Amino acid sequence: MIKIIGGFVILIAIVTWVARHPVTVPVSGQQAAVVTVTDTSFNETGMVIFEGSGNAVGVPWIVYQTPNRPIATKQLVFDDVTKCDAATRELPCASNVAEGKYPVSSEQQVRIQGTVDGEKVYVTRVTYL
């Protein structure tokens, strides 16, 4: 059991180190390229807004704050793989984005999980708080 726990600790240390350090990747016939590993996962709690300074009107955004960081926003992008967590049951979100209907409402408190791409989060799961 101690060997298993020790293995997990070592694995976590390696992953953390790699995520924070650039990796040099040799490319055949060219100079080596430096690749930085970035975490694109998103898992934050915040409030939904549909309007805001500099934000697209009528499109949902999350306003959230992480420790020791200023308040931030991300545009929420929903699709047919987005799941909604209602009373601990995970269900497909009933939304029709093409008609301007979203599975969230203005000023609703939510936890959003998904993948970050610039200013957008491609939502995989919404948990209503």
CATH of the domain at 63: 2.40.50
Same-domain check for residues 29 and 46: no
Polymer length in residues for the chain: 129
Render 47-62 in DSSP notation, one character per residue: EEES--TTSPTTS-EE
**Which residues, at least 6 apart from 84, have a Cβ–Cβ distance to it below 8 Å?**
90, 91, 92, 93, 94, 103, 125, 126, 128
Range of the domain at 99: 41-128
Do 50 and 105 have their domain in common? yes
Q: How many CB atoms lie within 10 A of CB 50?
A: 16
Instruction: State pTM to two decimals.
Output: 0.63
**6 and 60 belong to one structural domain:** no
What pLDDT sits at residue 116? 94
- 10 and 54 both lie in a single domain: no
Q: What is the pLDDT of residues 58-97, one digit of tens each?
A: 789 999 998 898 999 999 998 878 888 876 666 777 666 6
Say if residue 24 is in the same domain as residue 63. Answer: no
Q: Which of 54-58, 92-96, 105-109 has the lowest mean pLDDT?
A: 54-58
Question: Is the domain of 113 the same as that of 80?
Answer: yes
Count of structural domains within the chain = 2
Q: Whole-angstrom Cα distance, residue 66 to residue 73?
A: 11
For residue 109, list its beta bridge partners. 47
